[in-house]
């Protein structure tokens, strides 16, 4: 088992490096956008004096390199700072307030939980459904069912998310008022209400990720169906379903798990547009809001969450495929 | 829509037109007496993660609505009929030179934390805006206060550095909220005001919930038990939320899908023409805009009706190159309208020796929705006058810092101001920072100072009419159109029948003035 733990350690190290690179890229990207927080927040009222005052208070007048490294140093110590909006609000009092300053972490935590909830609901629908369709499509390949499933999932993955979202809103909220078009969930909601409010965005995400997982399942299984050991199983007289579930599927797991993990990561990171369309209070919406006002600490933290989700889920995928594959588990 | 009607009639007509269009049957049944109760849910655009209860920073509709009229109160209030009335101030009296103002404060008012409201609170709250290093957006409005005197617990005297007849009007500004003097920081952090509703939950950029404050002093307002205001910046999501009945009212109806919304029998679209106007300021210190003929020719090159029809989809009215709108007291409705006249523009340019004029116009949709399209329409209409307009589409980000006030000719918008003096002294007075044309006119400046200290209504009217005429004829800004405030609500909601046009959503006071029928 030495190899697995070594791989984990190595990958975690690489992951950490990726996060640093991501933070640098994002910092530069936001820096290159025209306007900064002071100009964005003041809008038409941006007189040179007030812009300069806000820049000075927030340290935006310091050189870019210095700002990045001071952010990096505190981020490495787990301190993601305070959002510009909050800091600007605090300085409006003239004196520093004794009240607890709300940090980026405080702001992000509830939003992140909401995003995870949405991703979890979507995953609970998408994973079983796409595996089932994939297996059935492999079982009845080239049948009408296989074709319809392929065309349908490919269509939904090829349409932009907001379009899928509006179509679902039209059919499930406007024409047939089954589900709410507004998913503004909040803390005091009970689980059933929350689930109902989250269902529509979760369905959109499901439609977007199903095709990938379903087609990989189908392809991986069909690929194996040509191998001699499957032929042997068939010659024994086993039913096609049993052949697929007990003989083909276990060997096809590695690629399937890989695709599932990638799509789970997408569920966490790809929600930006879906959250905006459904007014879902998750990280995605917070991210859009903070990019709009160039609130660097929040933008950075959101990006790190997205990047970390990818790194960790990819790592998980690799580990799972090692564990599911005896040849990788016991290397010579 | 015409301006033949007086201001109130105009508003009613606008509302009636909205109702008629929405129902197809004409006016809804007579407006019944207000009923108490219910939870008003609104989907409001203009929210930010930076939203707080600090009135000094309020700039967009979400907090403007939640601030004055919901959780907080101002000293004065612009009523739905456009007239000024007392809110926390009961009455006021100017000295003969309009320099010293005595305000009598309402008695028996308490803040949400139980503290009684008195003169100290007013002084402390005004101090937030007048202090030397104050970063308040309302600083220019109240900077003329030279001295604040507490006469007794319910009377204060404000001495201005120069006479200002509109001073009580200025105190209705949504930035100038009244906070409890002994707990200003707490009040700003938690939202403790004297308004008809108390804050229950405020999640910036997500939603705000308030519930009725039982000890509120207004007896004829605040009819809801609670209000849930949800931040919906995405316009399709906002329209959908109202269509599917998840909210009872929304602001900023999307003109593109408004037709679809009208078909829904449960929804009313209501619109008012206020002072919001779209402008094209020219820097009058820069060639060729320093030539009066060029400015006039460009004004004649605008096909205003086409812009109203195509850019505002009819939700607006043509304007006359000055910033005073139908919601202002001294709006000059009889002023000769500048019409599209390419021949006259050509003649003017010939006179100035500027034939074949070529100018640059910078625009971005950050200036106003459709500004770039408006620039293209203008390109075509100006061609007939022999003017070539080179249109540059600027990035939305940083537009106000990099283009406005910097590029010689650009697109811009103003939400307008409640008083003539306030509007003119914000953007047209010589030397003020937001004078976006750098225009200076001796007579205009003289009238501005005269009007400010004049208390006689008749004289003020003639002063402000003349100023509008000068501005229209010689000013550096093309003001082609007023943009309506277009909002929508479910028919479950009712109102008095007169809708304020100072801001969107009934002067941003829907929480106080409306009820469930």
DSSP per residue, B215-236: T-S-SSS---SEEEEEE--SHH
Measuring CA to CA, which residue among A247, A256, A318 is closest to residue A132? Answer: A256
Q: Provide the chain A residues 16-35 that lie in CB contact (below 8 A) with chain B.
A: 33-35
Asked whether residue A1 carries a pLDDT value surpassing 60, the answer given is no
In the block, tokens 């100009």 appear at A39
The predicted structure's pLDDT at residue A53: 82
Instruction: Let me know: does B170 contact B142? Beta carbons within 8 Å.
Output: yes
| C-alpha B348, offset from chain centre | 35
Mean pLDDT score, A50-54: 82
Q: Are B400 and A286 a contacting pair at CB < 8 A? A: no
Q: Are A182 and B43 a contacting pair at CB < 8 A? A: yes
If you count residue pairs, one on A and one on B, with CB atoms under 8 Å apart, how many are there? 117
Q: One digit per residue, pLDDT tens: chain B, 517 residues?
A: 333 334 443 444 344 444 434 433 334 444 568 899 999 999 999 888 888 898 888 888 899 999 988 999 999 999 988 889 999 999 999 999 999 999 999 999 999 999 999 999 999 999 999 888 777 778 888 888 999 999 999 999 999 998 999 999 999 999 999 999 999 988 998 999 999 999 999 998 899 999 999 999 998 899 999 999 999 988 888 999 999 899 999 999 988 888 888 889 999 999 898 899 999 999 999 989 999 999 999 999 999 999 999 999 999 999 999 999 988 889 999 999 999 999 999 999 999 998 889 999 999 988 998 999 999 999 999 999 999 999 999 988 778 888 998 999 999 999 888 889 989 988 999 888 889 999 999 999 999 999 998 999 999 999 999 999 999 999 999 999 999 999 999 999 999 888 888 888 998 999 999 999 8
Instruction: Let me know: does B386 contact B305? Beta carbons within 8 Å.
Output: no
Nearest to B205 among A92, A186, A289 (CB): A289
| Burial class of residue A199 (count of CB atoms within 10 Å of its CB; 0-12, 13-18, 19+) | buried
Reported as a pLDDT band with limits 50, 70 and 90, residue A92 is low
Query: Tell me, what DSSP letter sits at residue B165?
Result: T
Alpha helix segments (H runs only) across B256-396: 258-262, 292-300, 304-310, 342-351, 371-383
Percentage of the residues of chain A whose pLDDT score is greater than 70? 95
The predicted structure's pLDDT at residue B24: 38
Close Cβ partners of B54 (under 8 Å, ≥ 6 residues apart): A89, A92, B188
Map out the domains of chain A with their CATH numbers. 4-93 (no CATH), 106-329 (1.10.3720.10)
Nearest to B237 among A34, A278, A295 (CB): A278
How close A274 gets to chain B, by Cα (Å)? Answer: 11
Tens of pLDDT, residue by residue over A147-191, are: 999 999 999 889 888 899 999 999 998 888 889 988 888 888 889
Whole-number Å distance between alpha carbons of A301 and B443: 56
What residues of chain A lie within 8 A of the CB of B50, using their CB?
Answer: 41, 83, 85-86, 88-89, 293, 295
Q: Are B205 and A39 a contacting pair at CB < 8 A? A: no
Asked whether residue A91 carries a pLDDT value surpassing 80, the answer given is no
Query: Tell me, what DSSP letter sits at residue A243?
Result: I
Asked whether residue A7 carries a pLDDT value surpassing 50, the answer given is yes
Asked whether residue A328 carries a pLDDT value surpassing 80, the answer given is no
Whether B192 contacts chain A with CB within 8 A? no
Tens of pLDDT, residue by residue over A243-284, are: 988 998 888 888 888 899 989 988 888 788 899 899 999 999
Whole-number Å distance between alpha carbons of B289 and B293: 9
Whether B52 contacts chain A with CB within 8 A? yes
Reported as a pLDDT band with limits 50, 70 and 90, residue A332 is low
Alpha helix segments (H runs only) across B368-496: 371-383, 399-402, 420-427, 442-453, 457-474
**pTM confidence score:** 0.85
Angle between helices B420-427 and B442-453 (to 10 degrees): 140
Nearest to B49 among A44, A180, A290 (CB): A290
What residues of chain A lie within 8 A of the CB of B241, using their CB?
Answer: 181-182, 279
How close B202 gets to chain A, by Cα (Å)? Answer: 11
Nearest to A181 among B59, B233, B240 (CB): B240
The predicted structure's pLDDT at residue B86: 94
Whole-number Å distance between alpha carbons of B505 and B487: 6
Nearest to B133 among A46, A94, A177 (CB): A94
| C-alpha A77, offset from chain centre | 25
Q: Provide the chain A residues 175-194 that lie in CB contact (below 8 A) with chain B.
A: 177, 180-182, 184, 186
Whether B261 contacts chain A with CB within 8 A? no
Whether B254 contacts chain A with CB within 8 A? no
What residues of chain A lie within 8 A of the CB of B244, using their CB?
Answer: 173-174, 177, 180-182
């Amino acid at each position: 088992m030495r190899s697995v733990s070594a791989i984990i350690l190595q990958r975690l190290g690489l992951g950490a490096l990726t996060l640093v690179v991501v933070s640098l890229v994002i910092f530069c990207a936001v820096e290159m956008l025209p306007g900064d927080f002071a100009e964005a927040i003041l809008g038409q009222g941006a007189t040179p004096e007030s812009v300069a005052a806000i820049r000075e208070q927030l340290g935006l007048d310091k050189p870019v390199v210095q700002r990045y490294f001071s952010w990096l140093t505190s981020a490495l110590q787990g301190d993601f700072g305070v959002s510009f909006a909050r800091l600007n609000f605090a300085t409006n009092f003239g004196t520093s307030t004794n009240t607890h300053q709300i940090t980026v972490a405080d702001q992000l935590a509830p939003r992140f939980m909401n995003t995870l909830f949405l991703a979890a609901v979507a995953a609970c629908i998408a994973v079983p459904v796409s595996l089932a369709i994939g297996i059935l499509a492999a079982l009845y390949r080239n049948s009408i069912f296989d074709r319809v499933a392929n065309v349908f999932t490919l269509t939904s993955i090829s349409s932009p998310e907001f379009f899928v979202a509006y179509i679902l809103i039209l059919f499930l909220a406007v024409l047939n008022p089954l589900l709410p078009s507004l998913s503004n969930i909040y803390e005091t909601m009970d689980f059933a209400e929350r689930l109902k409010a989250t269902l529509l965005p979760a369905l959109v995400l499901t439609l977007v990720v199903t095709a990938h997982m379903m087609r990989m399942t189908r392809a991986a299984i069909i690929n194996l169906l040509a191998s001699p050991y499957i032929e042997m199983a068939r010659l024994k007289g086993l039913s096609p379903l049993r052949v697929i579930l007990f003989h083909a599927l276990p060997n096809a797991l590695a690629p399937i798990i890989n695709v599932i993990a990638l799509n789970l990561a997408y569920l966490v990171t790809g929600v930006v547009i879906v959250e905006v369309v459904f007014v879902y209070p998750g990280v995605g919406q917070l991210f859009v809001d903070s990019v709009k006002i160039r609130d660097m600490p929040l933008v950075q933290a959101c990006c790190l969450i997205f990047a970390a989700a990818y790194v960790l889920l990819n790592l998980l995928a690799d580990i799972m495929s090692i564990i599911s594959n005896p040849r990788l588990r016991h290397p010579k | 829509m015409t301006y033949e009607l007086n201001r109130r009639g105009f508003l009613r007509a606008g509302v009636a037109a909205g109702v008629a269009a929405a129902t197809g049957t004409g006016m809804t049944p007579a407006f019944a007496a207000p009923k108490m109760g219910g939870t008003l849910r609104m989907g409001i655009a203009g929210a930010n993660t930076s939203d707080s209860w600090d009135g000094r920073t309020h700039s967009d509709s979400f907090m403007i609505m939640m601030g004055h009229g919901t959780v907080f109160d101002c000293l004065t209030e612009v009523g739905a009929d456009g007239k000024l009335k007392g809110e926390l101030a009961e009455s006021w009296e100017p000295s003969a030179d309009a320099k010293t103002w005595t305000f009598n404060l309402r008695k028996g008012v308490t803040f949400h934390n139980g503290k009684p409201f008195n003169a100290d609170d007013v002084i402390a709250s005004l101090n937030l805006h007048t202090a030397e290093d104050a970063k308040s957006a309302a600083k220019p409005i109240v900077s003329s206060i030279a001295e604040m005197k507490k006469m007794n617990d319910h009377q204060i005297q404000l001495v201005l550095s120069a006479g200002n007849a509109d001073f009580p009007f200025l105190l209705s500004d949504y930035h100038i909220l009244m906070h409890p003097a002994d707990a200003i920081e707490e009040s700003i952090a938690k939202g403790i005001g004297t308004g008809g509703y108390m804050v229950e939950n405020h999640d910036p950029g997500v939603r705000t919930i308030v519930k009725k404050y039982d000890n509120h002093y207004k007896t004829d307002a605040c009819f809801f038990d609670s209000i849930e205001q949800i931040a919906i910046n995405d316009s399709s999501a906002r329209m959908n939320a109202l269509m599917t009945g998840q909210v009872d009212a929304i602001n900023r109806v999307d003109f593109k899908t408004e037709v679809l919304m009208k078909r829904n029998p449960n929804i009313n679209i209501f619109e008012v023409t206020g002072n919001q106007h779209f402008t094209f300021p020219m820097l009058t210190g820069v060639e060729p805009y320093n030539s009066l003929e060029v400015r006039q020719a460009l004004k004649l090159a605008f096909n205003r009706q086409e812009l109203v029809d195509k850019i505002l989809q009819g939700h607006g009215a043509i304007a006359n190159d000055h910033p005073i709108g139908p919601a202002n007291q001294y709006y000059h409705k009889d002023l000769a309208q500048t019409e599209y006249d390419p021949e006259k523009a050509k003649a003017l340019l010939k006179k100035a020796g500027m034939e074949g004029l070529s100018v640059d116009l910078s625009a971005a949709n950050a200036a106003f929705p459709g500004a770039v399209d408006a620039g293209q329409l203008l390109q075509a209409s100006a061609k007939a006058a022999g003017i070539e307009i080179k249109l540059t589409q600027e990035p939305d980000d940083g537009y106000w810092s990099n283009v406005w006030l910097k590029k010689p000719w650009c697109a811009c918008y103003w939400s307008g101001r409640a008083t003539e003096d306030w509007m003119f002294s914000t953007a047209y007075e010589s030397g003020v920072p937001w004078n976006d044309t750098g225009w200076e006119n001796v007579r205009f400046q003289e009238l501005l100072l005269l009007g400010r200290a004049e208390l006689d209504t008749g004289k003020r009217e003639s002063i402000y009419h003349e100023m509008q005429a000068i501005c229209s004829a010689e000013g550096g800004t093309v003001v082609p159109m007023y943009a309506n405030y277009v909002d929508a609500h479910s028919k479950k909601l009712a109102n008095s029948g007169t809708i304020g046009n100072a801001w969107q959503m009934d002067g941003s006071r829907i929480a106080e003035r409306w009820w469930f029928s």
